[in-house]
Structure 1
Amino acid sequence: MRTKTKKALEGTTGVVQKSTWFDYMNNALMILLSLCFIYPVVMTLGQSFSDAKAMVGKTVFLFPVGFSLDSYKQLLSDISILRYYWNTIVYAGLGTFLTLTLTGMLAYPLTARDFKGKRVISVMLLITMFFGGGMIPTYLVYKDMYHLTNTLWVMILPGAVSAWNVIIFKNFFNSIPVELREAAQIDGAGHFRVLFQIVMPLSKPLLATIGLFTIVGHWNGYFNALLYLDSADKFPIQMFLRKILVLSEISSGADLQNLDILRQLANTNPTTVKAAATIITIIPILCVYPFLQKYFTKGMMLGSVKS
């Protein structure tokens, strides 16, 4: 098959493409970058499985020093980690659903030719990309006006819609043939039906790409929880990781609530505990990438075509 293809190329163009030095250098650079990205994960994984006593005075390059599951047992013995996981799944799942739905509902009218208010809305969205209210005014608005602090919605609603995502959605919707919408409207379909049964199903690369970025953002987010959440029952998994990283560095001044954790960590190596906590935190989100890779590759060019 490869020989036939080569002969076909020679017969049509007379020239067979050969790899250039740029191709070799580009491939080498991509391999080097991939190794740079993979190495910290492999090293952290090796540290997490290392034996605490064997790790004294040693460092992990790739493979574990000894082998032990004590760090994982120590961390997973804390039942609160399941609650943190559940909170993060709710924040990421519900937040991503609302982001895709609300952003699509805002971007769809901006693609309509006869919508007179789209210029005003576009200008208002553009203003939010350059100006913000500040941390303290934002906190006061969430607390006093909307009463969102220490609730589920303070982790989801404030960042549900962004101007940048609306622009990307709008550009992608404009690439869908307008004849499909007009045909559906002639058959009696309303705007909601056109959006959710025609436009959104044709936007799988868009939804996968923005959804992946949104899920990762919610999963890695901890700063909003640090500012707006008071109850530990509502903390995300990243707050658990932060607690482990901070407590393992504490030598004095610990409060009574954290004394039990400090006693547990005293019998382990802080390096292996940190590594195990990191692996426990990142493993679920790493499992999402392979299932969305097909659409994510297509969606990397989203917004590159001017509408």
Structure 2
Amino acid sequence: MSNGLTQLTSAEIKQKISHQKLFGVDDLFEYLFDFCKICLTANESQIDDFSHYDLTPSVFLYGVPNTGKTTLCYSLFYKLKQEVTNEINFCYLDVGRMLDPSLGQSSRNLEDIFDELKSKCKNGSSVFLLLDELDTFCMSRSKTQEHDAIRRAMTTLMLELDQLHPGKDQKILIFGITNVPELIDTAVVRRFSLKKEMQPKLNLDSFKEYLNYLGSKIKYCPSSEILEKLYNIYQERQLTAGDVKTLYKEIYIDFLCKKLEQSLIEQRVLELFEKGFSTCEHLVRTREELSK
């Protein structure tokens, strides 16, 4: 669609999450699932109660990169499709295609997108809309001299969020996600009913389960002693679950290219945990550079 709205089928979503198992976010996932379910199945009395609190079916999901925010949204949609209503569509906004340098066109594109979403909700259908990388066009006005097209688009989004209310004829769930919440304009953030941080924290048992899952293809399961060492490094370096998966990805490539013997896997795992990429450490260095 030329305005930037893209729809994915449930089969495409299933493919995306088939090898993207989430760890350490069970409580958050269940909480958000219950919230979405209530919004989609609310009766007239509940809808009136929502209005009392200005509650809208919208979630602002934030956290450092590589924590699984997008995968969480895919998984939520798929479970809603399977367990709540088959009449739900998944759409996401391609910001690059939505933004247009022509005067007012970005704003019109966004208006067209929401009109299209509302039309999809007729006859009992509903929509799950993902606004990925929200910071691309909702950066705080105090942080940047934004392009007029971006400013207009942000204003239009705020107006559309203001008009978003649960109802029998308008069942639109909106998830706005970002890696840099501090850069998002406060006026945008406050319009989302829920603000939740995606910060998976694995306890030792979950960490063990995760490493066993990642190591299954290379037939590596750390001993209790090594597991504790790895877990301590995981905590000290504030590695994300995505970071750990990236480390194992490198080990798998080494193994696949026959540059790593089975007997040396443990040594390589320890080396990568100690020296491999850490999203949090990278963010700290980046922010220090930007503050100079």
TM-score over 0.5 for the pair: no
Tell me which protein shows more strand as a share of its residues. 2
- Which is greater in Rg? 1
Tell me which protein shows more helix as a share of its residues. 1
TM-score, normalised relative to structure 2 = 0.22
